């Protein structure tokens, strides 16, 4: 996928992902050195700094993360900057809501292209095709990269491949898959079986071979026997005009086993009450998926690459319950 970019890109990519992160190292630094591009480096990724750089240098290629797109689309000074020079935007490291993609495309004329990878696969595993005539499917992270095999297997044993459209664990085999974790043989044996890397992510594949990532296996909420994928709830919350960011988690519940709690960051100047959030979700989600608890916070915890850290929210909640 990265090499395909050279067909129509020649200069000025905006690089805002830290190079110590596998995404920044592979999709950003190494690719740009290989292509001989003139790079615009952003040491501290902030929405306005990136908008200024796009406007000034007429940037054509932007590999970044959903957090940056949220920041740009919700920035009060967005109207000041011309972002129409962009040819290709790559989004990785976390899911990107369709609403943000649509808004970005209406502003710039360019569709954000999602891809999927992880450190254990040298960053890249699948990607939506780019270039003239390429088919990008909204909500999908694309098709496997060349020489990469992909399967969706059952969640119970991880041995049986499931039919198209059914949920299961995503596994990969290919030249980019790691040989193992350094001096961690037990963890290696658990993650890599017969050459297949078990990602721990739940997904499905459509009839054309496009992958859709549903959620992390460890993030799945089990409430009253129902399997609930937090991303389904996140997507609904993101679509609300007052909400800038949201993240749902499962928290212990004596009756249901787990129940859904939503953490919400409001857009500047907006106000909401818990009841408003719950009533809104009732119109969009099945009853068992509707958050029972809502907490409004100033910002969501995120990694240096801009990925929302759901596990930190869970840890914060567990500590709160202990207290």
Domains and CATH numbers, the chain: 3-144 (3.40.50.980), 149-217 (2.30.38.10), 220-322 (3.30.300.30)
Q: Which of 112, 175, 174, 176 is nearest to 140 (CA)?
A: 112
**3-class secondary structure, 102:** helix
Q: Could you tell me if 118 and 174 are in contact, meaning their C-beta atoms sit under 8 angstroms apart? A: no
Report the pLDDT value the prediction gives residue 201, as an integer from 0 to 100: 92
Q: Is 313 exposed, middle or buried (0-12, 13-18, 19+ CB in 10 A)?
A: buried
| Cα 265 to Cα 62: distance, rounded to the nearest angstrom | 25
Q: Could you tell me if 81 and 293 are in contact, meaning their C-beta atoms sit under 8 angstroms apart? A: no
Q: Could you tell me if 203 and 139 are in contact, meaning their C-beta atoms sit under 8 angstroms apart? A: no
Q: Label residues 254-283 b or e (16+ Cβ within 10 Å = b).
A: eebebbbbbbbbbeeeeebeeeebeebbee
| Cα 194 to Cα 120: distance, rounded to the nearest angstrom | 15
Report the pLDDT value the prediction gives residue 3, as an integer from 0 to 100: 45
Non-local CB neighbours of 189 within 8 Å, separated by 6+ positions: none
Report the pLDDT value the prediction gives residue 2, as an integer from 0 to 100: 44
| Cα 211 to Cα 115: distance, rounded to the nearest angstrom | 10
13: DSSP letter: B
Q: Could you tell me if 227 and 218 are in contact, meaning their C-beta atoms sit under 8 angstroms apart? A: no
163: DSSP letter: P
Report the pLDDT value the prediction gives residue 11, as an integer from 0 to 100: 56
CA 128 to chain CA mean position, Å: 14
Q: Supply 238's token pair.
A: 């993101």
Report the pLDDT value the prediction gives residue 300, as an integer from 0 to 100: 92
Q: Could you tell me if 47 and 21 are in contact, meaning their C-beta atoms sit under 8 angstroms apart? A: no
Report the pLDDT value the prediction gives residue 209, as an integer from 0 to 100: 94
Which residues share a beta bridge with 113?
A: 90
Report the pLDDT value the prediction gives residue 305, as an integer from 0 to 100: 65
Q: Supply 2's token pair.
A: 């990265």
Q: Is 321 exposed, middle or buried (0-12, 13-18, 19+ CB in 10 A)?
A: exposed
Query: Per residue in 40-83, pLDDT tens?
Result: 999 888 899 999 999 999 998 888 888 888 888 888 899 999 99
| Cα 67 to Cα 80: distance, rounded to the nearest angstrom | 20
Q: Which of 211, 237, 233 is nearest to 220 (CA)?
A: 233
Which residues share a beta bridge with 211?
A: 142, 205
Could you say which residues of the chain have pLDDT below 50? 1-9
Which residues share a beta bridge with 253?
A: 257
Report the pLDDT value the prediction gives residue 88, as an integer from 0 to 100: 85
**3-class secondary structure, 31:** helix
């Amino acid at each position: 996928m990265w090499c395909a970019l050279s067909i129509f890109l020649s200069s000025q990519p905006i690089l805002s992902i830290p190079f110590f992160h596998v995404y920044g190292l592979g999709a950003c630094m190494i690719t740009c050195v290989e292509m001989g591009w003139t790079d615009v480096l952003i040491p501290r990724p902030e929405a306005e700094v990136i908008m200024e750089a796009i406007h000034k240098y007429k940037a054509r290629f932007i590999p970044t993360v959903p957090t940056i797109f949220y920041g740009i689309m919700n920035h009060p000074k967005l109207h000041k900057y011309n972002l129409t020079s962009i040819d290709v935007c790559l989004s990785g490291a976390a899911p990107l809501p369709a609403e943000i993609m649509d808004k970005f495309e209406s502003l710039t004329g360019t569709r954000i292209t999602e891809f999927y990878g992880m450190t254990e696969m040298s960053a890249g595993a699948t990607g939506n095709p780019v270039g003239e005539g390429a088919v990008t499917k909204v909500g999908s992270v694309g098709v496997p990269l060349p020489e990469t095999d992909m399967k969706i297997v059952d969640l119970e044993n991880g041995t049986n491949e499931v039919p198209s459209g059914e949920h299961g664990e995503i596994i990969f085999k290919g030249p980019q898959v790691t040989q193992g974790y350094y001096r961690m043989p037990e963890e290696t044996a658990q993650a890599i079986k017969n050459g297949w890397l078990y990602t721990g992510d739940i997904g499905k594949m459509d009839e054309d071979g496009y992958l859709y990532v549903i959620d992390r296996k460890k993030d799945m909420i089990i409430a009253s026997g129902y399997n609930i994928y937090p991303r389904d709830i996140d997507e609904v919350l993101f679509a609300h005009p007052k909400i800038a960011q949201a993240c749902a988690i499962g928290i212990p519940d004596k009756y249901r086993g787990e129940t859904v709690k939503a953490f919400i960051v409001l857009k500047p100047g907006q106000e909401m009450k818990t009841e408003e959030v719950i009533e809104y979700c009732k119109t969009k989600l099945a009853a068992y998926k509707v958050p029972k608890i809502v907490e409004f916070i100033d910002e969501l915890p995120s990694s240096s690459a801009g990925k929302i850290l759901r596990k930190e929210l869970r840890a914060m909640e567990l500590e709160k319950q202990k207290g």
